Structure 1
Amino acid sequence: MLNGVHYKTNNPVKITFEKDLIASIKLDKTLQTDNMICPGLVDLQINGFKGVDFNEEGLSVDSVVLVTRELWKAGVTSYFPTLITNSDENICATLETIEQACEKHSLIDKTISGIHLEGPFLSSEDGPRGAHPLKHIKAPDWDLLNKWQTIARGRIKMITISPEWPESVNFIKCCRSSGILVAIGHTNANEEQIRNAVQAGARLSTHLGNATHLMLPRHSNYIWEQLASEQLWSSIIADGFHLPPALLKVFLKIKEGQSILVSDSTKFAGLPPGSYSSHIGGAIELNSEGRLFMKDKPKMLAGSARSLLNCIDHLVNSEITSLETALDMASFKPLELLGKHYLYGMEEGKKADLIIFKRVSGKIRLLKTIKAGEVVYKA
């Protein structure tokens, strides 16, 4: 049984489970608590965490388990390991390892709800390409994706592509018919190419506002076109470093009800401040505020080292949105995008994926994480 304040109604409730489902949610005004209960967090973009990188050679089953357990400590009950542009061999090896981890550990299998391929079908342009290695960038290849999907045993549920490639429209249609969510990102596509991609079935903008040219035409560009699309949702990195508050406000107003939070965390998330070395960025620095940057170019970010909890805190403390809305963007909204909202939420009969927390001095202090009715983390 769980006791706490319902994050939407602000009423004290008692929650009971039956196996992996919520059996009952009952109002109990006799409860004296400031602990809050909300659905477990869902992160569709995890490159790594706590020293483990899904994109480095030699990934082990134990490392996948470690990341999952550390994410439970950060309130994440479902996530997508995210594979960036790499060699075919390395992608195959990583997919095999993730599949083995899921087959070996049932609770890991339930937590890894899909795999996100962020590449290699991205823009080759400097700027939009970001840190993705140019030598592995290529045009969308349905046969290659099928090969990877066979290795992953159908676990690839999301792919980020740039629709500037001539092969994009047919590729997107094939993905859509196979149940793979297509996102637009790392792109130099023009307006027509973006519109064609949306018409073909693309439904999301990956970390909108990041992985772009430093300078863009003021009136006609790929950010405005994605914002203008009523069919496209947007994922945003609201860690306080990737996007300024004014831009976050604009994005969330335009994409109200169609925005999700992603951490886009690297292996440096969850590590103490200090100097580190990255296989992509070389010498990097993580400061006490959680900003990860290039050591020889301090103005350049070297990825994200923050969790979804940090993103929620930033949105609330900056008065960009309410706690309830921020929590929804990090839990229920990603599931709505994936078409799984009927399975999860704070209702009887839904999956028992929940977190209990307090707000202390403007920060979420996680107390307990429940995955499939089991307590997987307790402070």
Structure 2
Amino acid sequence: MKWTGRHWITGDTVVITCTEDGRIKRMESSDQRSNVWIGPGLIDIQVNGAGGFNLNDIAARPITALGVLNTLRTYGITRFCPTVITGTKDRMLNSIHAITRACEIDGFMEYSTIGIHVEGPFISVDDGPRGAHNRDWVRDPNWDEFLEWKRVSNGRIKKVTLAPEKPGAIEFIKRLVDCGVIAAIGHSSATEEEIQRAIEAGATLSTHLGNGAHPYIKRHPNYIWAQLAADSMWAGLIPDGFHLPPSTLKVMVRTKGRKAILTSDASQLCGMLPGRYKTYDNGEVVLEPSGLLHLAHTHDILAGSATPLYVGISNMVKFGISNLGEAINMASLHAAELFDIAHQGVGTLCEGGPADVMIYNADEIESGGPIKILKTICKGQIVYSDADA
């Protein structure tokens, strides 16, 4: 297989040839003109659902996870972290089992799943930091419960988000790190001192920094500043234009630099039509025509995101925060570096690396529109092609 397009960083035309086993054999410069761009497949480290498929529904099955994967392919995503959020023990185990079975029966699902992200239930019970997570299902860290997740997933749990102020959380973080699991801080009302203790215990990621927070907090110090100032911490940032104002997003990206990761936090309503929906995990929610997704009883509490990651990276240009190539790196290479798989060629395009490729049109970028995904190539195979491509 061979693909031609303008390099996502340099703008020069390149021709990529891949091997039969799905790796890049050659990437060569070309004098021919191209109207399309070529870059690495996007990596989304937080996906709760998409295209009407909810990983956190009580009725989630392997076909649910495969539906999410197929939807993500239309967004240029080649790898992701399916995310299981706060729920009853049985519902969370069912979600983990559904994702695991999907990986076991579908080779592309296994390949595309970096690892399962469990967000909660060991989070703050406070309104604001709890976000849209159901208060009735919030509980204290329990290592036996984690071991059950690990058993059901056959070791696929790679990231856990929790609040460091919870009883036993610091020791829990240490044990996660010992198991090779990324410990992330999120949905927390921790003090600056508690944040620091979590970092010393091994926490390395802020889950959707700036969100899952009180609407009003002390200007300083607070748990957002404490995480933003921690040089060792990666930060997941949602660039949909609703979770973070452009000015806040810009400051966070500037501060975190190479440790800024763009993610969608996509819900099952990502890609769906505006309207009022009833969901298992959040009850009634409203998807506004603008793309804002919130709980039906309040505009102030977001219910995840309905904005695909490729729109988010396009927003980075629209907001004047970065150029498109830099934004793509924040949604691919930086994520690969967090999971320590960048050395394998994941998150970029290089000879010998995996042929995970996104081909796109950027004609609307200058006028403030999103890129258009034309083809998504995963492990050297075309898994999505736009009808007009």
TM class by smaller structure: over 0.9
Larger CA deviation: 77-86 vs 274-283: 274-283
Quote how far apart the aligned CAs of 1:20 are. Answer: 1.5
The corresponding residue for 1:378 is: 385
The corresponding residue for 1:352 is: 355
**1:22 lines up with 2:24 in the alignment:** yes
Quote how far apart the aligned CAs of 1:266 are. Answer: 0.7
Q: What amino acid is aligned across from residue 39 of structure 2 in structure 1? A: C
The corresponding residue for 2:80 is: 79
The corresponding residue for 1:134 is: 135
Quote how far apart the aligned CAs of 1:254 are. Answer: 0.9
The corresponding residue for 2:314 is: 313
Quote how far apart the aligned CAs of 1:222 are. Answer: 0.4
Q: Show the 5 A alignment for 1:178-217.
A: 178-217=179-218
Identity %, equivalent residues: 38
Q: 2:94 and 2:284 mapped to 1: Cα distance?
A: 26
Quote how far apart the aligned CAs of 1:188 are. Answer: 1.0
Quote how far apart the aligned CAs of 1:328 are. Answer: 0.5
Quote how far apart the aligned CAs of 1:299 are. Answer: 4.9
SS of the aligned residue for 1:159 comes to strand
User: TM-score, structure 2 length as denominator?
Assistant: 0.94
Quote how far apart the aligned CAs of 1:361 are. Answer: 1.9
Moved over 4 A (4+): none
SS of the aligned residue for 2:242 comes to coil
Q: What amino acid is aligned across from residue 356 of structure 1 in structure 2? A: I
The corresponding residue for 1:97 is: 98
Q: 2:131 and 2:275 mapped to 1: Cα distance?
A: 23
Q: 2:226 and 2:83 mapped to 1: Cα distance?
A: 25
Gaps of 5+ in 1: none
Q: 1:63 and 1:136 mapped to 2: Cα distance?
A: 22
Quote how far apart the aligned CAs of 1:170 are. Answer: 1.6
User: TM-score, structure 1 length as denominator?
Assistant: 0.97
State how many pairs are aligned: 378
SS of the aligned residue for 1:367 comes to strand
Q: What amino acid is aligned across from residue 314 of structure 1 in structure 2? A: N
**1:155 lines up with 2:168 in the alignment:** no
Q: What amino acid is aligned across from residue 28 of structure 2 in structure 1? A: K
Compute the RMSD of aligned alpha carbons.
1.3
Quote how far apart the aligned CAs of 1:23 are. Answer: 0.5
Quote how far apart the aligned CAs of 1:300 are. Answer: 4.3
Q: 2:220 and 2:120 mapped to 1: Cα distance?
A: 28
Quote how far apart the aligned CAs of 1:136 are. Answer: 2.0
Q: What amino acid is aligned across from residue 351 of structure 1 in structure 2? A: P
Larger CA deviation: 296-305 vs 249-258: 296-305
Relative to 1, partners in 2 of residues 1:295 and 1:99: Cα closer, same or farther, differing over 3 Å?
Answer: closer
Gaps of 5+ in 2: none
Larger CA deviation: 299-308 vs 355-364: 299-308
Contact 2:132 2:295 in 1 (8 A): no
SS of the aligned residue for 2:258 comes to coil
Q: 1:159 and 1:215 mapped to 2: Cα distance?
A: 26
The corresponding residue for 1:369 is: 376
**1:51 lines up with 2:52 in the alignment:** yes
**1:162-220 deviations in Å (ceiling 9; x for gaps):** 00024122211111111101110000111111111101110010101111111111111
**1:231-289 deviations in Å (ceiling 9; x for gaps):** 11110111011111110111111111110011001110011222322334443332333
Q: Show the 5 A alignment for 1:210-229.
A: 210-229=211-230
